[in-house]
Amino acid sequence: MVERKKKTNNEIIRLKNVAKWYKAGDEIVKAVDGVDIVINKGDFVAIVGPSGSGKSTAMNLVGALDIATKGDIFLDNINIEKLHESDLAQIRGRKIGFVFQTFNLIPTLTALENVTLPMIFQRVPYEERVARAKELLTKVGLDHRLTHLPNMLSGGERQRVAVARALANDPEVILADEPTGNLDTKRGEEVAQMFNKLSDEGKTIILVTHDMYVAKHADRIYKLKDGKIENKSGRK
């Protein structure tokens, strides 16, 4: 067994009374409704809950993809609710790596190009980003699939490319919204193992999942119901 790194106590993400309400016709949908969470550097956190409980909504708020209706979200002590879109883009590009349920690879780009894309937006020079992308694809076991287009890859392989892409700019936080949702149990377990490994390397990971087997990999599990945290359970 690999020795788990000693958790430092400095926080990286803090949600303070965060809410996200949607107006659907006359009704107001409180997708997220008063959530307080603190996540420290290197934490591996899972969020579970029934469909429609607000998991993706909360994740998108943390990932600076969306603006909260109420409350503050601090990332590295910066209140991202107060930032402009171009600064948010910068944060998404540098500090966060996203992994989606549907892989979301760019279909016209090869595996290698997909992994280099986040680095293009950060103006990483060509040689450097290609070298880095190759390194990452090797790490996820796809060094023999560099020039494959997404539609020539299996689901498990696609998700591994997506993980490599999420790591491109060496972000502190990895956000994964049901990364195993479109994979069979075996492939799902492989991907979950990868998150384990990343956690061991010190990445902060937030993982949304339906699957309790996958959630078990995390240090801590938050259960969400109707936009509120129902309970929190530690692993150790």
Ligand X SMILES: Nc1ncnc2c1ncn2[C@@H]1O[C@H](COP(=O)(O)OP(=O)(O)OP(=O)(O)O)[C@@H](O)[C@H]1O
Q: Considering the complex, state which of residue 56 and residue 169 has its C-beta at the smaller distance from Mg ion.
A: 56
Under DSSP, is residue 139 helix (H, G, I), strand (E, B) or coil? helix
| H/E stretch holding 14 | strand 11-24
Under DSSP, is residue 133 helix (H, G, I), strand (E, B) or coil? helix
CB of 16 to ligand X, least distance (A): 19
Task: Tell me: does residue 56 bind Mg ion (CB under 5 A).
Answer: yes
| C-beta neighbour count of 208 within 10 angstroms | 24
Whether the Cβ atoms of residue 169 and residue 89 lie closer than 8 Å to each other: no
Can you tell me which of 6, 26, 51, 151 binds ligand X, judged by CB under 6 A? 51
Task: Tell me: does residue 56 bind ligand X (CB under 6 A).
Answer: yes
**228-234 sheet: strands from edge to edge:** 96-99, 173-177, 204-208, 44-48, 220-225, 228-234
Can you tell me which of 63, 179, 188, 227 binds other proteins, judged by CB under 8 A? 63
Question: What is the bridge-based pairing of β-strands 70-75 and 78-79?
Answer: antiparallel
CB of 89 to other proteins, least distance (A): 4
Q: Considering the complex, state which of residue 79 and residue 122 has its C-beta at the smaller distance from other proteins.
A: 122
Can you tell me which of 7, 17, 22, 102 binds ligand X, judged by CB under 6 A? 22
Can you tell me which of 98, 173, 187, 198 binds other proteins, judged by CB under 8 A? 98
Backbone angles phi, psi at 22, to 5 degrees: -115, 145
Q: Considering the complex, state which of residue 9 and residue 108 has its C-beta at the smaller distance from other proteins.
A: 108
The rounded distance, in Å, linking the Cα atoms of 75 and 10 is 12
| H/E stretch holding 220 | strand 220-225
Q: Considering the complex, state which of residue 100 and residue 195 has its C-beta at the smaller distance from ligand X.
A: 100
202: which 2 tokens? Answer: 């010190």
Q: Considering the complex, state which of residue 89 and residue 212 has its C-beta at the smaller distance from other proteins.
A: 89
Can you tell me which of 34, 93, 141, 181 binds other proteins, judged by CB under 8 A? 93
Interface with ligand X (CB under 6 A): 22, 24, 29, 31, 49, 51-57
Interface with other proteins (CB under 8 A): 60, 63, 65-66, 85-86, 89-90, 92-94, 98, 100, 104, 106-109, 117-118, 120-123, 165-166, 168-169
